[in-house]
């Protein structure tokens, strides 16, 4: 019995210990994509916003598909993702107030150094994927309904090849975030479709190298949306809007522009003035 009492005491004591976040703290929750987080951008620019406004940002990073789902449930205040069609649908369905352009970067194809599909130097990403399929070279897909995954599928569609049919053979669906997918590709080794930010920051490249870039099809625009407070009254609309105003302001845009990974600009601001 003593032990039970001891346990009860322990529970109370531990439960009472102050957490790292006190109730009085001003914060809102941003749900965004893994690619932005893995690229290290938030660590750099969010402290600037906090310094200016005193508002802390709690970032939850998941794939775009789940991020939109979390936002629809009202479990976050602001959504920052990269799949324009889904974002516009989100706003049209009344879940979000308005979509603002924030920035863009681009997607790339990386692959094994020995380049079994011989795509290095190809200007067209559609041709590149077609050649990977023709040579049945290993290709790892995110396979997680993220923005990157959706973009990859849209380019497969243009090649006229049904890659999903080959799933399990040369086409492998990892069902994982960008970093985990790059880990898989580097271990196989295989080609994969990645955003540039995560790739620049990625440290376990092994024998992978950059294969295809700069095709206009590979542009990757990010949008930011405040969750509709009419649908979810608890949404911290004021703080969320303050963040959107800041990140689309000259100051926020300059912070995005100044962010470098290994000396390279990773994101290009494009908010409309």
Is-contact 107 146, C-beta < 8 A? no
Contact by Cβ (8 Å): 47, 54: no
Q: Which residues contact 117 (CB under 8 A, 6 or more apart)?
A: 111, 128, 131, 132, 134, 135, 137, 191
7 lies in the site for another protein, by CB under 8 A:
yes
Q: DSSP letter at 167?
A: B
Q: Which is nearer to another protein, 68 or 155 (CB)?
A: 68
Q: Is 44 near another protein (CB under 8 A)?
A: no
**x/- track of binding to another protein for residues 54-83 (CB under 8 A):** ----xxxx----------xxxx--------
Q: Left, alpha or beta for 237 (phi > 0: left; psi -120 to 50: alpha)?
A: alpha
Give CA–CA dist 268/190, Å, rounded: 29
| Residue 201: CB minimum distance to another protein, A | 7
Does residue 21 touch another protein according to CB under 8 A? yes
b or e along 233-259 (b: 16 or more beta carbons within 10 Å of the residue's beta carbon)? eebbbebbbbbbebbbeeebbebbeeb
Considering only residues 96 to 135 of the shown chain, the ones binding another protein according to CB under 8 A are: none
Nearer to another protein, 84 or 205 (CB): 205
What string marks each residue from 160 to 199 as x (binds another protein by CB under 8 A) or -?
----------------xxxxx-xx----------------
3-state secondary structure of 5: helix
Q: Near another protein by CB under 8 A, which window of 101-109, 201-209, 212-220, 246-254?
A: 201-209
Member of 101, 118, 170, 205 binding another protein (CB under 8 A): 205
Q: Which is nearer to another protein, 77 or 215 (CB)?
A: 77
Q: How many residues lie near another protein (CB under 8 A)?
A: 39
**Contact with another protein (CB under 8 A): which of 36, 38, 159, 194?**
38
Q: How open is the CA angle 30-34-35, to the nearest 5 degrees?
A: 115
Cα–Cα distance for residue pair 260/255, rounded to 1 Å? 10
By beta-carbon proximity to another protein, the closer residue of 64 and 159 is 64
CB of 255 to another protein, least distance (A): 18
- Taking CB under 8 A as the rule, does residue 3 contact another protein? yes
Q: Out of 165, 234, 272, 273, name the contact with another protein by CB under 8 A.
A: 234
Q: Can you list the positions of beta strands (E) in the chain? A: 27-33, 56-62, 78-81, 96-112, 139-141, 171-173, 191-195, 208-212, 219-227, 260-261, 264-265, 268-269
Contact residues for 182 (Cβ-Cβ < 8 A; gap 6+): 110, 192, 194, 198, 199, 202, 204, 205, 208
**Binding of another protein by 19 (CB under 8 A):** yes
Q: Does 204 help bind another protein (rule: CB under 8 A)? A: yes
229 is an interface residue for another protein by CB under 8 A: no
Binding site for another protein (CB under 8 A): 1-4, 7-8, 10-11, 14-15, 17, 19-21, 29, 34, 38, 58-61, 72-75, 176-180, 182-183, 201-205, 232, 234
């Amino acid at each position: 019995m003593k032990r039970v009492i001891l346990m009860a005491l322990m529970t109370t004591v531990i439960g009472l210990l102050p957490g790292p976040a006190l109730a009085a703290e001003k914060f809102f929750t941003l749900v965004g994509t893994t690619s932005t987080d893995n690229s290290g951008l938030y660590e750099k620019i969010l402290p600037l916003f906090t310094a200016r406004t005193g508002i802390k940002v709690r970032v939850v990073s998941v794939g775009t598909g789940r991020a939109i789902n979390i936002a629809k449930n009202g479990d976050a205040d602001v959504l920052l993702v990269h799949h324009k069609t889904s974002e516009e649908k989100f706003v049209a369905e009344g879940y979000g107030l308005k979509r603002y352009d924030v920035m863009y970067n681009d997607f790339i194809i990386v692959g094994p150094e020995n380049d079994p599909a011989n795509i290095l130097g190809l200007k067209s990403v559609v041709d590149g994927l077609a050649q990977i399929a023709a040579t049945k070279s290993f290709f790892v897909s995110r396979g997680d309904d993220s923005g990157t995954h959706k973009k990859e599928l849209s380019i497969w569609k243009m090649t006229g090849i049904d890659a999903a049919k080959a799933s399990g053979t040369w086409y492998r669906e990892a069902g994982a975030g960008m970093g985990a997918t790059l880990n898989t590709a580097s271990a196989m080794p295989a080609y994969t479709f990645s955003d540039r930010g995560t790739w620049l920051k990625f440290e376990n490249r092994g024998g992978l190298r950059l294969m295809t870039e700069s095709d206009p099809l590979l542009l990757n625009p990010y949008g930011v949306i405040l969750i509709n407070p009419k649908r979810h009254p608890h949404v911290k609309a004021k703080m969320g809007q303050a963040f959107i105003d800041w990140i689309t302001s000259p100051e926020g845009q300059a912070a995005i522009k100044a962010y470098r990974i290994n000396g390279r600009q990773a994101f290009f601001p494009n908010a409309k003035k």
